[in-house]
Structure 1
């Protein structure tokens, strides 16, 4: 005997995840529509398996500050960008879909800045995506399939930078988006500062650090 439940009958608590098997693409689309855009959960879909995650406050705080640090970098370097936040990125032909913690179009800024609807069949994936892993791990197979060039993952206060090379993610020491800045060993320091002293002071100190780095390159 099979039992059918509506998603509104299922509660996923913060820090927990729900994994559903044998979910068709149309069911995935229907779930996205039922849950709507104004929700706290994050979804990942891969070959019929749907994962629904409900982040913890720790996750959300780190996600926001890490995204803000990236925006400071782009601002100080005078690089145009557009953030698509936690937009749902999906391709039916690949049976893959994901919602990042944050993401940025930089090289493709001009093509994406005015976009209101996204179709990865025609549009490129974001050049830089951010994930904060607290209670679950980022599903790299989805990122690989959709071709996200650069992925930042924060886990236990450590920042990992991966770039996509020949279909695999390789950890690197320098971000190709910001090749002249020693970010990997310094961003964690400002993230910790945001937790202990608040984001305003951390962002201010980080902006000063970036300016110092730029001045040292002149």
Structure 2
């Protein structure tokens, strides 16, 4: 039976919610939307959300990703960034496209891979969202068992750590223990607004370098 192609013209900041959506329906919609698009998706509990980020969210996610990369480099750790890769599992009936994500502890598992199968491959160690506004997105992360999700919005950072089958908000990041991430990132993001990304990162690198030496 022929299906009707999805033709969505979402303005920045808009979101469409579709429900109920079966796994087959989710896959068909993803095919219709294609890979070259500005929108992102979240799917869990039979609910599919299609959203288009605002420009300020794009700037925020890039800045946060640069912060993470800089800190990992200072700590001399390896990582693989996978950006807004589509992560999905049919057996969990869930799918998500993070703003940014990183493989750190499990970076070796994804080196050189163009397609991931989460029934075999691990989920990203850290996902970043700059404006997570729905339970569907967090439910998708829980189903896919992403260990740590950062949510940055309105100048604050929330760290969600997976414990059992659900997230618990934490003041500490398992990925960066002994670093006051929830305090440093808002200060860094404020500095980005004042002097721009490159200078803020340069100042941050000097600051963190001194801390790590101690």
User: Which whole-Å deviations, capped at 9, do the CAs of 1:44-92 have from their partners, x for residues lacking one?
Assistant: 0113211000110111110110011000011111110001110111011
Number of the residue aligned with 1:152? 150
- Aligned with residue 57 of structure 2, among 56, 59, 62: 59
Q: CA deviation at 1:193?
A: 1.1
Secondary structure class of the residue paired with 1:169: strand
| More displaced stretch, 185-194 vs 33-42 | 33-42
Q: CA deviation at 1:137?
A: 3.4
- Aligned with residue 27 of structure 2, among 21, 25, 29: 29
Supply the distance in 1 between the matched residues of 2:63 and 2:204 (Cα, whole angstroms). Answer: 11
Question: 1:62-73, aligned counterparts within 5 Å?
Answer: 62-73=60-71
Number of the residue aligned with 2:5? 6
Number of paired residues?
Answer: 211
Number of the residue aligned with 1:165? 163
Question: 1:68-147, aligned counterparts within 5 Å?
Answer: 68-133=66-131, 136-137=133-134, 139-147=137-145
Secondary structure class of the residue paired with 1:114: coil
Q: CA deviation at 1:147?
A: 0.6
* Aligned alpha-carbon RMSD (Å): 1.5
Contact 2:109 2:122 in 1 (8 A): no
Supply the distance in 2 between the matched residues of 1:203 and 1:38 (Cα, whole angstroms). Answer: 30
Gaps in structure 1 of 5+ consecutive residues: none
| Superposition misfits of 4+ residues, deviation over 3 angstroms | none
| More displaced stretch, 80-89 vs 26-35 | 26-35
Contact 2:5 2:32 in 1 (8 A): no
Q: CA deviation at 1:5?
A: 5.6
- Aligned with residue 183 of structure 1, among 176, 181, 184: 181
Gaps in structure 2 of 5+ consecutive residues: none
Contact 1:181 1:213 in 2 (8 A): no
Supply the distance in 2 between the matched residues of 1:19 and 1:110 (Cα, whole angstroms). Answer: 36
